[in-house]
Structure 1
Amino acid sequence: MTDSEDCLFCKIVRGEVPTSKIFEDDVCMAFMDVFPIKEGHCLLIPKDHYQNLLDIDKDVAAHLARRLVDLTHKVNKVIAPDGIITSAANGKGAGQEIPHLHFHVIPRNHGDGFGFRFPDDYRNKMADRERLDELAAQLGKA
């Protein structure tokens, strides 16, 4: 997988769409999100076109993980937030809007109003231990 002609992020990689680039190497690119949730919101993408984490080569994934840590440190140093969200949606059911793997790095501050939170009562609904063990065994064998 290298490129998708109509993909917005592939167009950014090719230089067809302007971007405020943070860094770039042979494998990936980081840039500012033009629709930021919070100031300092940025994105990390692989330069080759992968739809999501389910499509990516493990070596590329390892490189992206290292660069995601680098980018998170940069945001922390420059923005100095109370916390930072790093996330990637994989597939439409998870809310992925652009079908090119990308990681969001979003600085957060107490009381900033951004609603990326678990439901208030999620800790009141403990899962069935038998079912957890069953799923863990299935996932371990997969």
Structure 2
Amino acid sequence: MLSMKGLEQCIFCHLSRGDIILENDAFVAIYDRLPVSEGHLLIIPKFHVEHYFHLDAIYREQLWSLIDEAKCLLDTEFQPDGFNIGMNIGEVAGQSVMHLHVHLIPRYRGDMRDPKGGVRGVIPGKQNY
């Protein structure tokens, strides 16, 4: 389901070619402008779609293919020790740009005191178990 709502304000609908690090037929990868860590990438569809659950199976396959390619690039360029992959779907989940984008965040040994729980940390107090 493609949405045209709010395209004039959508920052991802107006990327410049110079921002693109990797791409395939349907998606591009760019460095995040406010990175969580060195090498933090966003994987973004070339068409406007609000979130992951609006993609069909073919687009989902192309998305994960570019994520795999981006991971290989980050391994070569930055040698991270791990990764977090995440997306926010809906305002209550923290989505502030209503255009699908997947965060590929390289993680480095020692970048935080105790990384146990990883993405569970989106809810304070739920990371450690």
Same fold (TM over 0.5): yes
Deviation at 1:94, TM superposition (A): 1.5
Asked if residue 8 in structure 1 is aligned to residue 11 in structure 2, the reply is yes
Highest RCO, 1 vs 2 (Cα 8 Å, sep ≥ 6): 2
| 1:107 shift after superposition | 0.8
Runs of 4+ in 1 over 6 A off after TM superposition: none
Q: 1:87-132 CA deviation, whole Å, 9 max, x = no partner? A: 11111122112111111111111221287553212xxxxxxxxxxx
Structure-1 separation of matches of 2:14 and 2:72: 27
RMSD, aligned α-carbons? 2.1
Aligned residue number for residue 132 of structure 1: none
- Partner of 1:45, secondary structure, is strand
What secondary structure, in the 3-state scheme, does the structure 2 residue paired with 1:73 have?
helix
Please give the secondary structure, in 1, of the residue aligned with 2:74: helix
Contact 2:24 2:66 in 1 (8 A): no
Aligned-pair identity (%) = 31
Give the aligned length. 117
Quote the residue 1:88 is aligned against. Answer: 87
Q: In structure 1, what is the Cα distance between the partners aligned to 2:61 and 2:80?
A: 26
TM-score, scaled relative to structure 2: 0.80
Q: How does 1:62-101 map to 2 (within 5 A)?
A: 62-101=61-100
Report matched runs for 1:1-142 at 5 Å.
Answer: 1=2, 4-12=7-15, 15=16, 20-113=19-112, 116-118=118-120, 119-121=127-129
In structure 2, runs of 5+ residues without a counterpart are 121-126
